[in-house]
């Protein structure tokens, strides 16, 4: 079987390309299991000349710019379906080279390893099972984090909040940027980064932690099942045939729902063409039946009452002061239920969230907006949250005068361990 060696874009402008090539010759080539004619090398154009000295020039495929799922697709598409014996990713640091690592997770190989210029080596399998996920129905898996890690994280958050308060001279938080449904913050390619967020510490995010470092029942856990938890919640509602995921981003929730096979249609919409292109690309790689279309959440190109269930997941936050307008449009196209997983400090705040949500300008008038639209609702805490950005689950029943708490008791069990679909804590 062939071997694939990928040189990351982060090395394209290395100070010493000769040094990079010598490292490849010393640390990677001796481990290649096949002859040269079965070796494929994918490398930045800037370094190909030096590579010619250690590998057959005919085996090199060069690329320009970023290599990843959304970059240089024509370069890697031909490798889909090829069964490799080994895949080597060589770069400067996993935090810089996550796009290439993500790409390798969608290629087939007996072994996959990441190597950096400092000589570190990582088995990509530790990330792959979280990035290229199984979308079939199962319980949510949470991994315990050491108490020492949790203590450091909470102290870091508390220091950040104290620093922010001092810098503001203890005034109330002021929004850094007004939000609007017509002014998307994500008009960029995000699929690679969104996938990387599923893997623990592949890339650090806010406050030095992984996106998948989550707050659960007053403790920190790691889980790549953030979207699975929402899908399990929704799947426990009977009698739903069509689902609309509004502000779907990269489409992970829609893919989870479609994989259950219980819905006649699952559609994800987002105002960002970049996000929809990413959702379609990811969907093609995993074989989803979900459909993805470009639509604004305040101008949904759908008939009145055309879907059974509409859901948002950390999407309405972007509407800012225009929340009511988006809610009215979602109500217009929904026949039965609206379920909203959204960050707000109105119901279940944490100390840092009071500052964070206000500073970010997230929508925070759900109680008022829903009441003004004449919509009765029930709320509960989301299962998994970021400590500084906690989510509330809103359940709005458009077809009954009975309170959702009584109509859907399975959604409102008090213990987080009784979350629909089940919760399993390991470690």
- Side-chain-facing half-sphere of 410: CA atoms under 13 Å: 10
Q: Which residue has the tokens 């640390």?
A: 27
- Residue 306's nearest CA partner among 256, 241, 400 is 241
Query: Across all residues in the chain, what is the average pLDDT?
Result: 94
- The pairs formed by 30-36 with CB atoms below 8 angstroms and a separation of 24 or more are 31/86, 31/88, 32/3, 32/5, 32/86, 32/88, 33/3, 33/85, 33/86, 34/1, 34/2, 34/3, 34/85
The residue-averaged pLDDT of 298-317 equals 97
Q: What CATH architecture does domain 191-426 belong to?
A: 3-Layer(aba) Sandwich (3.40)
Predicted pLDDT at 185: 60
DSSP string for residues in 193-207: HHHHTTSTTSS--GG
Q: CATH number for the 3-131 domain, one of 3.30.70, 2.30.30, 3.90.105, 3.40.50?
A: 3.40.50
Q: What is the pLDDT of residues 356-396, one digit of tens each?
A: 999 999 998 999 999 999 998 999 999 999 999 999 999 99
pLDDT at 32 over 80: yes
* Structure token digits, residue 400: 């009954």
Extents of the domains making up the chain: 3-131, 191-426
CB atoms within 10 A of CB 210: 19
Spatial distance between the Cα atoms of 172 and 181, rounded to a whole number of angstroms? 25
CB atoms within 10 A of CB 306: 15
Answer whether 3-131 and 191-426 agree in fold: yes
Q: Which residues pair with 214 in a beta bridge?
A: 221
Which of 30-39, 61-70, 122-131 bottoms out in mean pLDDT, i.e. has the lowest? 30-39
The residue-averaged pLDDT of 397-420 equals 95
Spatial distance between the Cα atoms of 10 and 25, rounded to a whole number of angstroms? 18
């Amino acid at each position: 079987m062939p071997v694939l060696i990928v040189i990351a874009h982060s090395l394209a402008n290395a100070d010493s390309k000769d040094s990079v090539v010598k490292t490849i010759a010393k640390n990677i080539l001796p481990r290649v299991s096949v002859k040269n004619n079965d070796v494929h090398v994918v490398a930045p154009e800037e370094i190909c000349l030096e590579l010619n000295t250690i590998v057959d020039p005919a085996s090199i495929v060069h690329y320009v710019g970023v290599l990843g799922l959304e970059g240089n697709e024509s370069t890697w598409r031909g490798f889909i379906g090829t069964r490799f014996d080994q895949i080597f990713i060589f770069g400067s640091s996993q935090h810089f080279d996550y796009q290439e690592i993500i790409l390798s997770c969608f290629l087939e190989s007996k072994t996959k390893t990441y190597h950096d210029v400092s000589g570190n080596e990582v088995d990509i399998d530790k990330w792959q099972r979280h990035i290229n996920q199984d979308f079939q129905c199962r319980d949510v898996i949470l991994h315990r984090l050491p108490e020492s890690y949790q203590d450091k994280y909470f102290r870091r958050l508390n220091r950040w909040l104290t620093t922010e308060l001092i810098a503001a001279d203890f005034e109330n938080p002021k929004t850094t940027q007004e939000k609007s449904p017509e002014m998307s913050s994500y008009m960029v390619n995000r699929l690679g980064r969104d996938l990387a967020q599923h893997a623990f510490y592949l890339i650090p995010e806010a406050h030095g932690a992984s996106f998948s470092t989550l707050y659960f029942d007053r403790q920190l856990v790691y889980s790549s099942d953030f979207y699975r938890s929402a899908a399990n919640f929704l799947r426990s509602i009977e009698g739903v045939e069509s689902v609309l995921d509004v502000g779907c981003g990269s489409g992970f929730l829609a893919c989870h729902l479609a994989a259950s096979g219980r819905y006649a249609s699952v559609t994800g919409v987002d105002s960002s063409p970049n996000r929809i292109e990413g959702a379609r690309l990811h969907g093609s790689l995993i074989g989803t039946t979900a459909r993805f279309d470009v639509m604004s959440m305040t101008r949904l190109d759908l008939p009145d009452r055309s879907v059974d269930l509409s859901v948002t997941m950390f999407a309405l936050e972007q509407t800012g002061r225009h929340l009511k307008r988006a809610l009215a449009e979602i109500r217009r196209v929904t026949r039965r239920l609206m379920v909203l997983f959204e960050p707000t400090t109105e119901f279940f705040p944490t100390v840092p969230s009071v500052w964070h949500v206000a500073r970010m300008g997230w929508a925070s008038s759900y109680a008022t907006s829903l009441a003004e639209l004449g919509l009765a609702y029930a709320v509960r805490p989301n299962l998994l949250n970021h400590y500084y950005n906690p989510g509330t689950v809103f359940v709005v029943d458009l077809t009954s005068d009975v309170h959702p708490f009584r109509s859907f008791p399975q959604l409102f069990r008090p213990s987080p361990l009784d979350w629909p679909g089940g919760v399993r804590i390991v470690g």
